Structure 1
Amino acid sequence: MRRLLAACLVSLAPLAAMAQQVTHFTLENGMEVVVIEDRRAPVVTHMVWYRAGSADEEPGVSGVAHFLEHLLFKGTDTLAPGEFSATVARNGGSDNAFTSYDYTAYFQRIAADRLDLVMGMEADRMVNLRLDEADILTERDVIIEERNQRVENSPSALYREQKSALQYLNHRYGVPIIGWRHEMEALGLDDALAYYTRYYAPNNAILVVAGDADPGEVRALAEKHYGVIPANPDLPPRARPQEPPQLAERRMTFRDPRVSQPYVSRSYLAPERDSGAQERAAALTLLAQLLGGGQTAVLTQKLQFESQIAVQVGAWYSGMSLDSTTFDLVVVPAPGVTLAEAEAAMDDVLTGFLETGPDAAHLERIKSQLRAQEIYDRDDASSLARRYGAALTQGLTVADVQAWPDILQAVGAEDIMTAARDVLDRRQSVTGWLMAPEVTQ
């Protein structure tokens, strides 16, 4: 019934016309503000996004963006270490933060009448962070242990890290967000403060408030707390080293005795979503769904159900990226099938798809599913806040976010095939095998 209702709703109007109430303005000091109104519950999500992530780090201090994210929960001129989160919890809310290649974001979800409180604390730590060597030593141990748990203890994570480094020879996307261990171990107070001073400023930040919030009240509070913070006149331009043209296929084999399930994966360099020109990204989004998005996808049908060569397949594309991203495929072979056989079967399916193109009915089903999902996503104000925050830190605009659903619906089969032929080029790919060591007699 829910899906039927969604189908009926989306047939009545373009999704752009159904856009949630969004207000966007900029403070005098350059801080952007987005307010997403959702009055169904007296709750707000308050987020501050910085246009600075791990790809904005200087060479030699990998992991400092994520390190600083941890350090921001230490003390300020007015808050003792740990008091920020304790205050949020005491007022019935929750808070956290996350770091990506292109951004760092901090958020609180709390009762709407506590917005003034959390906004004041977040503005405080934008400029008044206080750190000492003891903070550095303890938190550095924390992030190194986090790397141990998430990367060192996972053959798949180590494999992906090595494969990404092979994909990006010159761009900082080839450096792990958490950092290389040997550089993490050397991170110091000066490294953290240099990154903080350079990037944590209102003219490099986006405030997103979603939920039971009045735009006029949010503007007044934003001017009260953030508007008094001076802009950073020395904010550097966001220029990263770009990838040279990739002229030859790259391959790697990663062996680890802990691997119980081998698999083959391939990533192709692909264009990101660009402001005012999102059509290619939309075509690649649909291509990923056609190839590996669910039980009716081409790779699933051919490799899992028909030939039973694979027990799992996948395809995905993440266009939300400031610079060039990747289009990825993975095939997990069935017992008795070698990685070479699995890769050859994958390539046969791709060759067939490039010759025949998508099934029209399959494409329409995917569009309907994406259209319905867009409606479901409107039920989560926090998810909407993340969508807008991520977009604006990665070069898109509010208008781009609102236009995206209708752009997806306008993509045709020929658009998808043009994108497929352009991106699925082995000369701009990295193919990797994850497997256990060979048994020697």
Structure 2
Amino acid sequence: MTFAIFSPMKMPFRRLALGCVMAVSLAAAPALAEKPADTAPQSFSLSNGMRVLVIPDHRAPVVTHMVWYDVGSADETKGKTGLAHFLEHLMFKGTKDVAPGEFARIVDRNGGSENAFTSYDYTAYYEVIASDRLPLVMELEADRMANLRLTDEVVYPERDVVLEEYRMRIENNPMSALRQKMDQALYGPHPYVRQVIGVKKDVEGLTREDARAFYDRYYTPKNATLVVAGDIDAEDLKPLAEKYYGVLKNRAERIEHDAPPVKPLAKSVREVVHDKRVGEPVWLRTYLAPNYVALSPKEGAAFDVLGQILGDGTTSRLYKALVVDQGIAAAAQSWYSGGRRDSGGFGFYAIPRGRASFADIEKSVDAVIGNLLKNGVTGEELKRAKTLIEAGSVYARDDQKGLANAYGSALMVGVKPEIVHDWPSYVKQVTAGDVMEAARKVFDGTHYVTGELLPEEKS
């Protein structure tokens, strides 16, 4: 099991944004103009309030079945952090009719694969399997939505597993320490400030009763969304969904999110981490930015195009300036991330080369941003950025699981399915002026958080 974090601060080598998912997975390059009409999403609700979304794709007799719960680490209470991720682990520990670990074995015996992930804003469980086995995985997921068994014998050993995961991913990772300090400066009192896996002291104290209360409150049909992509239509899925999920009773009402707002920074902040395990210095910078829900679809697409022009790939301004022309960086990248419920962000990443210092990196990054704000983007840059975004989609559309994930993650943060489906048209509409408006919102007179990861200082 994994916990997926849609944050640029978690994986600096990739542009992990909902818009990236939408643009890459769903943007219609010319080769996709002849896609079947039935690829448009189809949605309906069950009698108990559970939402259902279908993305037909009849190219192969395979389906991706996902159940999304509208709860993530940002919804946890103080002192009980880590519950969302902990319960993700426990969901594989069995029900009255399915023994611990048997869920995965059943899926595997039927030629499928399964997994789950937790984010700040949601938790999701998925299976990829032959379409004639869809009723099987629906029955399994419905069973553990309603009948999860939590005993001391499974809860506390699994808590030890999570703590080991914490040691491996957080305590043994110097970059994680820097991210934590930067997030604290960037998000203030908002729950995005902490790791999805939780605060170690809190995780150590989680009990079976905590897990059961969390499960009963959030793992209920009204707080769940079923997304199925693949060889099926809404007409065929609806009776199956009613049979397996529609009969489940709600244990609670739909969640109301009440996290404090993410406020603009009053000043720029610098965070530094020295660690003997660091092999090469890393420089980071993050700005707050609007998320997709706060923007019109065209404005959101403009932020994606800005990210592409400024720092995505070897043709970007940042890469050409720092890596190719000046030779002061071994790697350089920037990205826009708009796929969280409560905030978006824009990040920068660079590894100095040779004797270049962080001061050299910062000076050049500021020059690239300043040149953009002063002189704008060219028609050639705009065209290339759109082409690159669309070209990637030609291959990404073959990833059925990616389609299900794109739509599901969009729904969880408040983006409507029709916006995801029509995203290519918004990318095509973006003008140079739109890109500049996005750039000014992020960079013009705003503050940011800088991070420096360095080897341990010599005494």
Same fold per superposition (TM over 0.5): yes
**SS of 1:274 mapped into structure 2:** helix
**SS of 1:428 mapped into structure 2:** coil
**1:22 Cα deviation from its structure 2 partner:** 2.2
Aligned equivalent of 1:378 = 397
Alpha-carbon distance in structure 1 between the residues aligned to 2:162 and 2:426 = 40
Which residue identity does 2:144 align to in structure 1?
R
Which residue identity does 2:357 align to in structure 1?
T
Is 2:48 aligned against 1:29?
yes
Q: State which of 256, 281, 284 in structure 1 corresponds to 2:275.
A: 256
**SS of 1:286 mapped into structure 2:** helix
Which residue identity does 1:411 align to in structure 2?
V
- 1:265-284 aligned within 5 A: 265-274=284-293, 277-284=296-303
Q: 1:19 to 1:376 in 2, by over 3 A?
A: farther
**SS of 1:227 mapped into structure 2:** coil
**1:428 Cα deviation from its structure 2 partner:** 3.1
1:146-204: CA deviation from partner (whole Å, max 9, x where unpaired): 11111211111221122112211011111110112121111111221121111111111
Q: State which of 301, 315, 318 in structure 2 corresponds to 1:296.
A: 315
Which residue identity does 1:387 align to in structure 2?
A
Which residue identity does 2:405 align to in structure 1?
R
Aligned equivalent of 2:31 = 9
Q: State which of 84, 89, 96 in structure 2 corresponds to 1:70.
A: 89
Which range moved further: 289-298 or 268-277? 268-277
Is 2:324 aligned against 1:305?
yes
1:62-89: CA deviation from partner (whole Å, max 9, x where unpaired): 1110000000001112111111111111
Alpha-carbon distance in structure 1 between the residues aligned to 2:294 and 2:283 = 33
Gaps of 5+ in 2: 1-27
Which range moved further: 19-28 or 183-192? 19-28
Sequence identity percentage? 44
Q: Is the 8 A contact 1:275 1:400 kept in 2?
A: no
Q: What root-mean-square deviation, in Å, do the aligned CA atoms of Structure 1 and Structure 2 show?
A: 1.8
**1:8 Cα deviation from its structure 2 partner:** 4.6
Q: State which of 141, 151, 168 in structure 1 corresponds to 2:160.
A: 141
Aligned equivalent of 1:3 = none
Aligned equivalent of 2:388 = 369
Alpha-carbon distance in structure 2 between the residues aligned to 1:19 and 1:244 = 42
Is 2:111 aligned against 1:89?
no
Alpha-carbon distance in structure 2 between the residues aligned to 1:368 and 1:290 = 11
Aligned equivalent of 2:125 = 106
TM-score by length of 1: 0.94
Alpha-carbon distance in structure 1 between the residues aligned to 2:102 and 2:313 = 45
Gaps of 5+ in 1: 1-5
**1:268 Cα deviation from its structure 2 partner:** 0.4
Aligned equivalent of 1:201 = 220
Which range moved further: 316-325 or 96-105? 316-325
Q: Is the 8 A contact 1:50 1:104 kept in 2?
A: yes
**1:331 Cα deviation from its structure 2 partner:** 1.7
**SS of 2:212 mapped into structure 1:** helix
**1:439 Cα deviation from its structure 2 partner:** 2.1
Q: State which of 69, 77, 80 in structure 2 corresponds to 1:50.
A: 69
Is 2:161 aligned against 1:161?
no
**1:7 Cα deviation from its structure 2 partner:** 5.9
Which residue identity does 1:417 align to in structure 2?
M
Aligned equivalent of 2:17 = none
Q: Relative contact order: is structure 1 or structure 2 higher (C-alpha 8 Å, sep ≥ 6)?
A: 2
Q: Is the 8 A contact 1:45 1:109 kept in 2?
A: yes
Aligned equivalent of 2:305 = 286
Q: Is the 8 A contact 2:70 2:218 kept in 1?
A: yes
